[in-house]
Structure 1
Amino acid sequence: MQPELQAFRQRLEEYARQQGERIALRGASERYSHAQLLEQVQAREALLQKQPPGVLAIALDNGPEALFWDLAALFGERPSVILPPFFSPAQRAHCLLQSQATLALAPAELHEELRELGFTPGEPFWQRPATADAGLPPGTAKITYTSGSTGTPKGVCLSAGALLRVAGELERASRPAEPSSYLAVLPLAVLLENLGLYAALLAGAGVTLLPQGQLGISGASGVDWKRLLGCVALSGAQSLILVPQLLLGLVSAIERGLMRVGPLRFVAVGGARVSTGLLERAAAVGLPVYEGYGLSECASVVCLNRPGERRPGSVGQPLPHAQVRLAEDGEVLVRGATLLGYLGEPLFTGQWWPTGDLGHFDADGYLYLAGRKKNQFITSFGRNLNPEWIEAELTQGGVILQAFVHGEGLHQNLALLWPLDPQAGDGDLEQAVQRCNAALPDYARVHAWRRLPQPLSAAEGTLTGNGRPRRAEILERYRNELFSLVTE
């Protein structure tokens, strides 16, 4: 057992002995003390040990049951994958097939999908034999799938040591604020939230883990703000992890007097770039927000602003477990807690991971990000998207000839469209968009669009000579048309 994993187990055992009756975990209707939490995890670990080796797939909603199984797999040294609730059926199938998962835990609405993939029902697992070697790198504890920037999610393989080094640093970073209660807002499948829970458990904090629907969150970007804000207030949470769009809702609610900052002491925000204006608004209402930066390939968090070490506009200084330097072109390179490799691809044997992000340091070592090197953008909900994927879907339905999609830092994906038939009406374009959206996971759907006044062309400087869009030129030319589509 890796030393970080052993230390995590010992910490939970210590809390069970010393604070056994204190509430450690709250669900929708359940409560578990520190001693009961450990008992529940150990019981599931024993069940897993009776099964043949293989990957455990967890497709459960947020709640104590999902956390118990996640920890049982971790301590039992069985590789696991938590399936994001916002993935499409095709993406879930890809994850299960690529990982060669032999055990699965899923709600009733996914049982038919499991049957079609060769699983048979059992108690408590759905099971199937492995049909091929998944090629898991040795030491893989968790496979975390990206949002699917090209439509096909990539499996990032991480060791328990890497995961728990980051969780430990998150716990230490928040320690000056002394938060004793934590509310999980993001899906457990989001690595940032997964490690946030580990950090709270390491700290001995009381954790509230509610189903996403009870929180008012649906899919990748649907939010019932009244329900979510009510849960934050009623939970008594002193610590949260948010993506920028959720931070915006929280700040707006406080500004309008709909809720108070209350007991919140440490609100970490990551997953996408946070505007300086939003950080200033948070500071003005007294919300203790700490922006950070990370990526799945580096076991989530790499840099973080911390109490007493905060520089608004930056993503903070590197955490102690990580080293960060810049390539000649300004690309951010990271060493420490990096992935073992992508599933199905050669092992990562290098020292420095190229993040694809551009940035610079100030004189005090705070990192500032300038954007992505490539076309991929990140929505304000933290979902990675490649616009070429969505554009291809839009233009393969026989109605739309050209499409340009933009969503960097936004809660909506916006599109500029030109029809195959110039005489086609806007109703035809709307129907084509809806058909396309029906086949896409919700975070990749087009939320608003506008008809181009003329087709994109090389002559106008909006296409390259081989027909590819010149993105910067298109965005500059049609910026007003695009951003007029954004709604709050």
Structure 2
Amino acid sequence: MLTAELDIKEAKIHGVLSLDELVNDFSIALKNRNYPQAPVGVLADNSSDWIALDLATQVLGIPLIPIPHFFSHEQKKYLINTSHIFTLFCEQENIFELYGFDKNSRQCHSLFLSHLEHYELQDINKGIQKITFTSGTTSKPKGVCLSSAQQWSVAKSLEHALARLKIKKHLCLLPLSVLLENVAGVYTSFLSHTEVFVFSLKEIGFKDPFNFDAAQCLSKIDEYKIESVILLPQMLHSILNVIQPNDPRIQSLKFVALGGAKTPRLLIQKAKDLGLPIYEGYGLSECSSVVSLNLPHAYKGGSVGKPLSNRKIRIAEDHEIEICMTNKVSYLGEVSDSDLWFKTGDIGHIDEEGFLFIDGRKKNLIITSYGRNISPEWPESLLMEQGLYKQVMVVGDAQPYLTALILPLTDISHESIESSIRSVNKELPNYASILNYIVLDQPFSFANRQLTENGRLKRDVIESYYQKEINTLYESSKDLTLL
């Protein structure tokens, strides 16, 4: 069921006269199935119908499985099969047969729906409302099982945190299949009586999942005088390439949330200098999205803000960030063996004022041949702050020193690169110094499977792809003097 905090009749979506009636229509379509409580999948672009379907499943207590467009065909098939979807909602009728659904479909507003011809109802955890999948390095993404209450608890905390900004218009820029836009965008807006603007991804600048037209996005923001949006780091990078100081297209913005991957402090400062009210946060799907967030009245550069009011965070002895959960974290097809303190896998610290800092990923730790433990994010962030590089990744596990894989912003000389590395090394101890580098000829991207959908480095994929170059470099007798 929906949270008692939300009255659907008061929720506002731009261009929708009655969201309540829309939700009712989808509820009727769901109740008229042979298996009314069976899981529902949605493979569709952003729209008010997508949101109405989500709310209808919550009203009826039915599990919803959002299927990201940016997943591969094999990942989509795996997701559909493992989550036991009985009914699939799509925008195009020719999709159904690809995934084993009946080609004879029905239509509910802009979405078509079809059922599996042969289906065996599975035992369903009645507490599960949404199964959100995070992409892995293989064809088998991982499904996080969430209740409606978990999601709305986060939205309620965000509503409280943002109340003094009095935001009246929010534009959905991320796919609704991404939990962050669901919870921090749509649900929070509904609770705040904020009008939600939702358009197809093409209309807001996504020519395809990997090609973002920042100018088109800014035109949409300007046209509707949007006051809040959520960005990923690569989207921010594109926007900064096309705006000027105090650009009139961004004057209506009151709050720009930045999530996904860790963003260089230099990039965030550049955004602020250009007039973007940008605030970095931190979250995980296992925690129903946002955990902490910087705010205009509680901001510290380099941090990911203070924990939301519904969060308790502690730092373990090995510096791993742990979050207190009201329910154990549950993954699809797995028996939860975690306790109520969820181990995030992120390394960080909390300062004396209560701001959370992310220092790296625990599993990313590099252990050199001298037995020194190094979080690669540490030297990487220092390199990115030089302002010369678009992307950086540091390697060196079981090696005597670190090597940087770098993609310069422009054509620069090796002398300039080496000078910047020497500058960075002055801020690092000898055991964490970078003594060699490889200049890349192509960026890390989601298209080449070297980035996650949130812009995080898939380190094992990248290192495997460049293994020959890395091995050749370490086997070389060249003695660099970059200290």
TM range (shorter): 0.7 to 0.9
Greater relative contact order: 1 or 2 (C-alpha under 8 angstroms, separation 6 or more)? 1
Question: Of the candidates 57, 68, 72, which is equivalent to residue 52 of structure 2?
Answer: 68
- Corresponding residue for residue 392 of structure 1: none
CA distance in 2, matches of 1:7, 1:76: 14
1:240 has 2:229 as partner:
yes
Aligned residue-pair number: 403
2:106 partner SS:
coil
For residues 224-303 of structure 1, the aligned pairs below 5 Å read 224-255=213-244, 259-303=248-292
Q: What letter corresponds to residue 162 of structure 2 in structure 1?
A: S
Kept after mapping to 2: 8 A contact 1:12/1:202: no
The code of the aligned residue for 2:133 comes to Y
Q: Name the TM-score, length of structure 1 as normaliser.
A: 0.73
Partners in 2 of 1:149 and 1:6 — Cα distance? 35
Q: Which residue type is aligned with residue 75 of structure 1?
A: V
SS at match of 1:204: coil
Determine whether 1:43 maps to 2:25. Answer: yes
The answer to whether structure 1 residue 25 and structure 2 residue 13 are counterparts is yes
Change (3 A) 1:136 1:343: farther
The answer (yes or no) to whether the contact 1:180–1:205 under 8 Å persists in 2 is yes
Any residues of structure 2 matched to 1:44-59 within 5 Å, and which?
A: 44-51=26-33, 52=35, 53-59=37-43
Aligned ranges 1:59-98 → 2 under 5 Å? 59-98=43-82
After superposition, the Cα gap between the structure-2 partners of 1:361 and 1:349, relative to the gap in structure 1 and judged at 3 Å, is closer
Equivalent AA in structure 1 for residue 8 of structure 2: L
Q: What is the rounded CA distance, in whole Å, between the counterparts of 1:266 and 1:63 in structure 2?
A: 22
For residue 16 of structure 2, give the secondary structure of its aligned residue in structure 1: strand
Aligned-partner Cα distance in 1 for 2:256–2:174: 13
1:133–1:327 Cα change, 3 Å: farther
SS in 2 for 1:179: coil
Cα deviations by residue, 1:89-108 (Å, 9 ceiling, x for unpaired): 11111110010100001122
Change (3 A) 1:441 1:284: closer
Residue aligned with 1:58, SS: strand
Secondary structure (helix, strand or coil) at the match of 1:365 reads coil
Q: Deviations over 1:50-104 (max 9, x none)?
A: 2212111011100111111111112211100111111111111111001010000
Mapped partners of 2:62, 2:88: distance in 1: 13
Out of 172, 185, 203, which is 2:160 matched to?
Answer: 172
1:348/1:236 CA distance change after superposition, 3 Å = farther
Deviation track 1:153-188 (CA, whole Å, cap 9, x = no partner) reads 101000111010011111221111111000000000
**In structure 2, how many angstroms separate the alpha carbons of the residues matched to 1:338 and 1:253?**
44
Aligned Cα RMSD in Å?
A: 3.9
Partner of 2:335: 346
- Distance in 2, matches of 1:257 and 1:315, equals 25
Aligned counterpart, 2:136:
148
Within 5 Å, give how 1:43-442 maps onto structure 2. Answer: 43-51=25-33, 52=35, 53-108=37-92, 111-112=94-95, 114-124=97-107, 125-128=113-116, 131=119, 136-195=124-183, 196-255=185-244, 259-336=248-325, 340-375=329-364, 437=448
Q: Over residues 337-385 of structure 1, what are the superposed CA-to-partner deviations in whole Å (9 max), with x where a residue is unaligned?
A: 66641101113551111111110111011000011112499999xxxxx
Name which of structure 1's ranges 359-368 and 216-225 shifts more when overlaid on structure 2.
216-225
Contact 1:323 1:334 in 2 (8 A): yes
Pick from 7, 12, 17 the counterpart of residue 8 of structure 2: 12
Q: Distance in 2 between matches of 1:131 and 1:210?
A: 34
Q: Could you tell me whether the CA contact under 8 Å between 1:298 and 1:339 is conserved in 2?
A: no
Identify the residue that residue 456 of structure 1 maps to in structure 2: 471
Q: Which runs of 5+ in 2 are unaligned?
A: 108-112, 366-375, 382-392, 394-402, 410-440
Question: Offset of 1:225 from its aligned partner?
Answer: 2.1
Q: Is the 8 A contact 1:156 1:339 kept in 2?
A: no
Instruction: Provide the C-alpha distance between the structure 2 equivalents of 1:216 and 1:7, rounded to a whole number of angstroms.
Output: 35
Structure 2 residue aligned with 1:400: none
- Cα distance in 1 for partners of 2:468, 2:178 equals 40
Q: Distance in 2 between matches of 1:113 and 1:246?
A: 32
Structure 1 counterpart of 2:23, one-letter code: V
How far has the Cα of 1:206 moved from its partner?
1.1
Give aligned-pair identity as a percent. 32
* Deviating more after overlay: 363-372 vs 118-127: 118-127
Q: Residue 94 and residue 219 in structure 1: after superposition, are their counterparts in 2 closer, same or farther (change >3 A)?
A: farther
Matched position secondary structure for 1:172: helix
Once the two structures are TM-superposed, the CA of residue 450 in structure 1 deviates from its matched residue by: 10
Unaligned runs of 5+ in 1: 17-23, 381-386, 388-403, 411-429, 463-476, 480-488
Q: CA deviation at 1:237?
A: 0.6
1:456 counterpart SS class: helix
**CA distance in structure 1 between the aligned counterparts of 2:163 and 2:406, rounded to whole angstroms:** 35
TM-aligned CA deviation for residue 118 of structure 1: 4.0
**How many Å separate the matches in 2 of 1:343 and 1:450?**
30
2-side partners of 1:437 and 1:281: how far apart?
28
CA displacement at 1:268 relative to structure 2: 0.9
- Is the alpha carbon distance of 1:108 and 1:297 closer, same or farther for their aligned partners in structure 2, counting shifts above 3 Å? same
Letter in 2 for 1:284: D
Contact 1:334 1:355 in 2 (8 A): yes
C-alpha distance 339-32 of structure 1, shift in aligned 2 (>3 A) = farther
SS of 2:286 mapped into structure 1: helix
Distance in 2, matches of 1:439 and 1:106, equals 28
